[in-house]
């Protein structure tokens, strides 16, 4: 007989329960997309992709809501406004300048017939609404002239007199006497002026000893040459102008004489040429009628005969609607 013996199972060794000895569990996370991983912030979950999208949208809205005008646009607007003010003030008084002539043409052709009538109609339509406000505007104007403008003008006059009497002498003493004459000018003359004098002395010597005398000599020679050449140039110019005027007058006189002599002959030649052209056209028309029109008429007759025979054959052939069908005969 075979006896099955039970093996003794040894007990597990004692393990300390301190956290340093225990293995840390590593749970397996399923692969999730970045958009599905929640990000916790103060107990509220929100996806990182949604937060980034919202921030991008906010930045785009801020960029759209804050338009930026370039420096050139602002400069163009200022120049255009200044030009309009100039034209409104100057061209209304005298229109002899070169700028006002095209503006007058523009006003006569475009502004007066097309742009001014809508403005006038708008002003006329708004007059019933503006008329009740005119007394209040007059009262406001009188109030500003009596209560605001007069005190402000007196205040400005008193402040100017106070400035000239008290502040201006103190500023002159502080800026001119103490700052400029007391500190800046002595400092420059003691420190900077000797350095600049030492470094610029060769250049100043070259400029005053070489460049200035040569430039003066060149200017003197040019003036002398111009003085010598100027009478001759004026003489040649006056002679050329006189010769051009005499040449133009003689050419004009002889050209008019030649034209007067040739005009009758030219009229005759033009009449003869017109008659010859008319004869040539008439002969061309006769030749067309003699040689081309018969062939064209024959071709047209053949075409008409062919079309007539085709229509006759189509009318002779019986149609399917005229014969009864087999089902009807049965």
Q: What sections of the chain are H helices per DSSP?
A: 48-65, 71-90, 100-106, 116-130, 134-143, 150-162, 168-172, 185-187, 193-206, 212-287, 293-316, 326-329
Mean pLDDT for the stretch of residues 202-224: 92
Higher-scoring residue by pLDDT: 33, 175: 175
Which pLDDT score is estimated for 119? 87
Confidence at residue 33, expressed as pLDDT on a 0 to 100 scale: 44
CA distance 293 to 305: 18
Query: Which of the two residues, 277 and 32, has the higher pLDDT score?
Result: 277
Rounded distance between C-alpha atoms, residue 225 and residue 214, angstroms:
16
pTM above 0.75, yes or no: no
Name the phi and psi angles at 189, rounded to 5: -70, -25
pLDDT score of 41 more than 70 = no
């Amino acid at each position: 007989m075979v006896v099955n013996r039970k093996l003794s199972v040894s007990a597990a060794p004692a393990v300390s329960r301190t956290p340093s000895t225990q293995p840390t569990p590593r749970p397996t996370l399923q692969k999730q997309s970045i958009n599905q991983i929640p990000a916790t912030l103060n107990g509220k979950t929100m996806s990182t992709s949604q937060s980034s999208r919202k921030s991008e949208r906010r930045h785009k809205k801020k960029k759209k809501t804050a338009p930026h005008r370039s420096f050139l646009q602002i400069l163009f607007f200022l120049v255009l406004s200044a030009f309009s003010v100039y034209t409104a003030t100057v061209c209304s008084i005298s229109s002899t300048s070169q700028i006002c002539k095209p503006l007058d043409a523009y006003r006569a052709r475009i502004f007066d017939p097309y742009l001014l009538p809508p403005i006038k109609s708008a002003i006329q339509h708004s007059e019933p609404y503006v008329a009740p406000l005119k007394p209040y505007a007059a009262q406001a104007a009188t109030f500003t002239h009596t209560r605001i403008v007069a005190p402000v003008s007196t205040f400005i006059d008193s402040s100017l007199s106070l400035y000239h009497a008290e502040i201006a002498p103190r500023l002159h003493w502080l800026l001119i006497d103490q700052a400029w004459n007391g500190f800046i000018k002595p400092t420059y003359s003691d420190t900077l002026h000797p350095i600049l004098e030492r470094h610029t002395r060769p250049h100043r010597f070259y400029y005053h000893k070489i460049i200035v005398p040569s430039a003066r000599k060149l200017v003197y020679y040019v003036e002398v040459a111009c003085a010598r050449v100027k009478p001759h140039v004026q003489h040649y110019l006056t002679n050329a102008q006189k010769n051009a005027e005499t040449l133009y007058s003689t050419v004009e006189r002889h050209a008019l004489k030649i034209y007067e002599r040739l005009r009758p002959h030219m009229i005759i030649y033009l009449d003869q040429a017109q008659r010859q052209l008319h004869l040539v056209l008439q002969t061309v028309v006769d030749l067309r009628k003699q040689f081309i029109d018969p062939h064209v008429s024959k071709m047209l007759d053949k075409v008409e005969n062919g079309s007539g025979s085709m229509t006759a054959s189509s009318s002779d052939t019986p149609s399917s609607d005229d014969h009864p069908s087999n089902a009807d005969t049965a």
